């Protein structure tokens, strides 16, 4: 408690502008490794380096950024539908059109975190924490929200919620300033409706319905603002709309099987999600925020509640409700409906839990405000926990989290451009003339370096292709029930799965792993155009699979040692 009192004595002398300047400095410091280290920076691999960043580069180099609705990208799986890469009317696509990949990534991070910071700050200042004395809470919580390790390619899909809610609540209260409408019109250019804003707009629509039922207020302008943002999203995501309303070939998502859990498993998952969060919407709230939320709830249970306190209790219940919904979406009782309606399979309605970052950090701010009102010692607690949450988030800076703690490859080491240039030159044929696949290595690496791959990681591709590709790995899948279920019931990672490697795709050059009993259908691989396999580990029985080692490639700027195997089938 003494250190908390000391922290109050230090910070209470500053005004709000000073807090804002300090916060912006800290945010710039947080982002600085991306700009200072460039391609030597360490960033997230999962659903980032292994996929999205390569996708942007492939799209850019394909010349199909503005491709027709039926266009394909020949570099991936002999013709991946252009619509898989999403709309060209997204700022993140343009960043990757205009700048090198790592520069575009750094700019995207900066833009997203700045909007997250100012969005949460404006929302708290205008609608929830107006007391001038609570500037530290407003600024500190907003900065903590901006520090969260969000999913990079989600952009403002979740971190834009506070700014959008600020604009919606302004309009709801009768403020029709152009700033609110411009905000609602611009956010869709840097967010995805399916990765966050569908669920947000549904929640705001329920707020409008609440006003109608409880207050008997139609508030048509508020309703029009919801319709306006929805229309802007649909216009920008016209490729998605086209895919939904027109006849097209079945995609692999139609065979997703997600409802397997019994009730006990669902309850357990809901509790874990409630306390620990989800990889795509990490809020890092377990250590500081969650105890403060429970403490505040306990203090409020036995007192007459004011309006802001009722809102806190509502948000607390909603917080767990979203986790429960997330968990129940995977419960077996959905199976009959999912078998009947494809939309329930192809669209992930569990993502209502993507609202949780907004709910958690609003709850945290309100909890700190409530504690502040309880007296001097509680002011120290409120101040101390805001500062503590900022400290807790520092290790989740990408350079610290991935470079120091997890020791993953840097951007340069991961994509290993110089090494793959050597491989390309060694093969000596135009990359368009042959197809490759990878073992123990993400196919995104080969794609990033211009190779035409039969394997891929994409969230939408033709089901017929999945069946053809499965023939290559059928024997390996039969050896491993986990891999078989992973591919057959999900399949977005259309990889050359190997029983001995499991679901690990990052065997670095210091690994001593070897594949001793590979069993691939190389004829099926050849029939699809396959000529080479890039493996990050040696294959002992390669020749039994009609694979012959051409050369092993190593490079000081690469995390991998690549064994280049060429397909040589016996002549008939």
Supply the pLDDT for residue 3.
Answer: 45
- Measured in Å, how far apart are the chain's first and last C-alpha atoms? 82
CA 411 centroid distance within chain? 18
- In 3-state terms, what secondary structure has residue 515? strand
For residue range 238-291, list pLDDT tens digits in order. 988 887 777 577 888 888 877 777 789 888 988 998 899 888 888 999 999 999
Supply the pLDDT for residue 251.
Answer: 83
Residue ranges of the chain with pLDDT lower than 70? 1-14, 247, 305, 571-572
- ∠251-253-256 over CA atoms, to 5°? 140
Supply the pLDDT for residue 443.
Answer: 97
**Spatial distance between the Cα atoms of 492 and 460, rounded to a whole number of angstroms:** 7
Supply the pLDDT for residue 10.
Answer: 47
Supply the pLDDT for residue 249.
Answer: 77
Closest by CA position to 250, among listed 347, 342, 344, 349: 342
For residue range 385-435, list pLDDT tens digits in order. 999 999 999 999 999 999 999 999 999 999 999 999 999 999 999 999 999
Supply the pLDDT for residue 361.
Answer: 97
Supply the pLDDT for residue 336.
Answer: 80
Closest by CA position to 254, among listed 194, 340, 334, 327: 340
The pairing of strands 435-439 and 530-535 is parallel
């Amino acid at each position: 408690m003494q250190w908390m009192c000391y922290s109050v004595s230090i910070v209470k002398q500053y005004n709000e502008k000073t807090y804002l300047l300090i916060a912006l400095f800290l945010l710039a410091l947080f982002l600085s490794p991306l700009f200072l280290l460039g391609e030597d920076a360490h960033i997230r691999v999962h659903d980032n380096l292994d996929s999205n960043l390569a996708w942007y580069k492939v799209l850019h180099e394909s010349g199909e950024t503005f491709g027709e609705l039926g266009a394909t990208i020949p570099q991936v799986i002999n013709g991946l539908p252009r619509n898989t890469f999403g709309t060209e009317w997204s700022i993140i696509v343009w960043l990757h059109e205009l700048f090198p990949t790592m520069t575009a990534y750094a700019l995207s991070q900066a833009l997203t975190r700045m909007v997250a910071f100012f969005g949460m700050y404006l929302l708290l200042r205008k609608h929830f924490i107006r007391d001038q004395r609570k500037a530290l809470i407003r600024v500190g919580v907003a900065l903590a929200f901006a520090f969260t390790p969000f999913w990079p390619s989600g952009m403002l899909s979740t971190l834009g919620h506070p700014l959008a809610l600020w604009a919606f609540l302004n309009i709801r209260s009768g403020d029709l300033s152009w700033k609110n409408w411009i905000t609602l019109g611009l956010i869709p250019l840097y967010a995805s409706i399916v990765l966050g804003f569908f669920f947000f707009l549904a929640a705001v629509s329920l707020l409008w319905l609440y006003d109608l039922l409880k207050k008997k207020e139609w508030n048509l302008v508020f309703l029009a603002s919801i319709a306006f943002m929805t229309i802007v999203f649909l216009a920008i995501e016209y490729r998605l709309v086209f895919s939904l309303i027109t006849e097209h070939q079945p995609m692999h998502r139609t065979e997703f099987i997600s409802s397997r859990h019994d009730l006990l498993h669902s309850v357990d998952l809901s509790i874990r999600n409630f306390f620990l969060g989800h990889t795509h919407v990490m809020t890092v709230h377990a250590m500081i925020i969650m105890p403060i939320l429970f403490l505040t709830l306990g203090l409020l249970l036995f007192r007459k509640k004011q309006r802001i306190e009722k809102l806190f209790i509502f948000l607390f219940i909603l917080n767990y409700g979203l986790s429960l919904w997330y968990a129940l979406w995977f419960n077996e009782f959905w199976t009959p409906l999912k078998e009947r309606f494809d939309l329930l399979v192809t669209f992930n309605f569990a993502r209502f839990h993507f609202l949780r970052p907004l709910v958690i950090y609003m709850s945290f701010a309100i909890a700190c405000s409530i504690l502040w009102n309880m007296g001097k010692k509680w002011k120290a607690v409120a101040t101390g926990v805001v500062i503590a949450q900022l400290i807790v988030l520092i290790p989740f800076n990408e350079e610290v989290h991935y470079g120091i703690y997890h020791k993953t490859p840097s951007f340069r080491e991961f994509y290993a451009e110089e090494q793959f240039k050597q491989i390309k030159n060694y093969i000596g044929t135009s990359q368009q003339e042959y197809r490759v696949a990878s073992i123990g290595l993400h196919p995104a690496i080969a794609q990033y370096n211009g190779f035409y791959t039969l394997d891929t990681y994409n969230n939408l591709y033709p089901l017929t292709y999945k069946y053809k590709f499965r023939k290559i790995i059928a024997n390996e899948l039969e050896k491993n029930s986990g891999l078989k279920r992973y591919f057959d019931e999900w399949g977005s990672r259309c990889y050359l799965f190997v029983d001995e490697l499991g679901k690990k795709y990052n065997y670095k050059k210091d690994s001593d792993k070897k594949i001793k009993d590979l069993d691939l259908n190389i004829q099926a691989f050849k029939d699809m155009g396959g000529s080479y396999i890039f493996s990050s580990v040696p294959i002992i029985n390669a020749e039994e699979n009609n694979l012959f080692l051409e050369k092993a490639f190593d490079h000081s700027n690469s995390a991998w040692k690549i064994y280049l195997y060429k397909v040589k089938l016996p002549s008939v």
